[in-house]
Amino acid sequence: MDQSETLAPSRADPAADAPLNVMISKLSRRASLTPADMDAIQALPVSVRTLESATYLVREGDPPDMCSVLISGFVYRQKSTGNGDRQIMGVHIPGDLLDLHNLYLDLADHSVQMLTRGDVGFITRARMQALMAERPNVARALMIDLMCDASILREGVLNIGRRNSRTRLAHLLCEVAMRLEAQGLAGEGGYELPMTQEQLADALALTPVHVNRTLKSLADDGLITRSKRQVTFPDYERLREVGDFNPRYLHLQHQRTGALAE
């Protein structure tokens, strides 16, 4: 497999040498990949670009041609109502596949946008489809990833639909904490969440003003500490309770997903 589409990696950045490592490590967490599978992924012609905050990766209504993988930074997906109200449907962290959704669909049904500056690896749809055809095991891993994304989305529906602002916010904080931790990017003690309160509001289906008050209420109760965008959890256990957070839906434990299972 040629690497002709790969941009010359800058020697300074370790991720640039093997930009898809972070994705492999994510997929491996929930599905077993053989060394050959991993090699096949590594061999994928990937073009890595550094994108500024707020850059669109996919715009609702566009015909998607690429598949992308987040290498560093944060991304969110989003869609808007007819009168312009925005809803953020999910936040992505390094390792996440960003638009597997569009792999077989004509037109993007939602937008994907950089939340911070970061590096994104682009792979053509055709390449990705070819990989899946050649390596059913990789195809399975990708499907599992897709299914887990859907599960996270379902929890999001529950969160927005049936929990009050405090619980809702606490739940989001716990989810991001656990996902970052699973990816080896943060501990349970806290992390930097690079979202403005307005973005948090759009993710939680609240108002920025109300997010501010809810944040304050959590802080007043000693459940979180904030300085700038850094959030720390003095008592993660209690925050989990307040956030009604049961991580089952993240499917971070895998048992049946072995390479040759069933």
Partner DNA sequence: CGTACGTTTGATCTTTCTCAATAATGGTGG
Partner DNA sequence: CCACCATTATTGAGAAAGATCAAACGTACG
Total of chain residues touching a copy of itself, rule CB under 8 A: 60
User: What distance, in Å, lies between the first and last C-alpha atoms of the chain?
Assistant: 31
Distance from C-alpha of 214 to C-alpha of 219, rounded to nearest angstrom: 8
Q: Does 147 bind a copy of itself (CB under 8 A)?
A: yes
Q: Is 127 in the site for DNA (CB under 7 A)?
A: no
Q: Is residue 166 close enough to count as binding DNA by CB under 7 A? A: yes
Token code pair at residue 117: 């500056």
- Least distance from C-beta 233 to a copy of itself, angstroms? 19
Point out which span in 11-19, 46-54, 102-110, 229-237 binds a copy of itself (CB under 8 A). 102-110
| Closest listed residue to residue 152, CA positions, set 88, 71, 206, 212 | 88
Q: Helix count (H) and strand count (E) of the chain?
A: 9, 10
Q: With binding defined as CB under 8 A, does residue 59 bind a copy of itself? A: no
Site stretch for DNA (CB under 7 A), options 118-126, 131-139, 180-188, 225-233: 225-233
Looking at this protein, which amino acid is placed at residue 78?
Answer: Q
Long-range contacts of 38-41 (CB under 8 A, 24+ apart): 40/1, 40/131, 40/134, 40/135, 40/138, 41/131, 41/138
The interface partner of residue 209, options being a copy of itself, DNA, none and the CB cut-off 5 to 8 Å by kind, is DNA
Residues 114/53, Cβ–Cβ less than 8 Å: yes
HSE, CB side, 13 Å, CA atoms: give it for residue 167: 13
Pick the binder of DNA from 212, 244, 250, 257 (CB under 7 A).
212
- Please state the closest distance from residue 183 (CB atom) to a copy of itself, in A: 19
Report CA 47 to chain centroid distance, whole Å: 19
Which one of DNA, a copy of itself, none interacts with residue 1, CB within 5 to 8 A by kind? none
Q: Minimum Å distance from CB 244 to DNA? A: 13
Q: Using the rule CB under 7 A, is 206 a contact of DNA?
A: yes
Question: How far is Cα 74 from Cα 90, in angstroms, rounded to an integer?
Answer: 11
The residue among 154, 72, 153 whose CA lies nearest residue 114 is 72
* CB 172 within 8 Å of CB 204: yes
By a kind-dependent CB cut-off of 5 to 8 A, residue 136 interacts, out of DNA, a copy of itself, none, with: a copy of itself
> Which 3 state secondary structure label does DSSP give 138?
helix
| Binding stretches for a copy of itself (CB under 8 A) | 31, 61, 77, 79-83, 85-87, 89, 101-107, 109-110, 125-126, 129, 132-133, 136, 139-140, 143-144, 146-151, 153-158, 160-163, 167, 205, 244, 246, 248-249, 251, 253-257, 262
| Binding stretches for DNA (CB under 7 A) | 164-166, 168, 196-198, 205-210, 212-213, 215-216, 226, 228-229
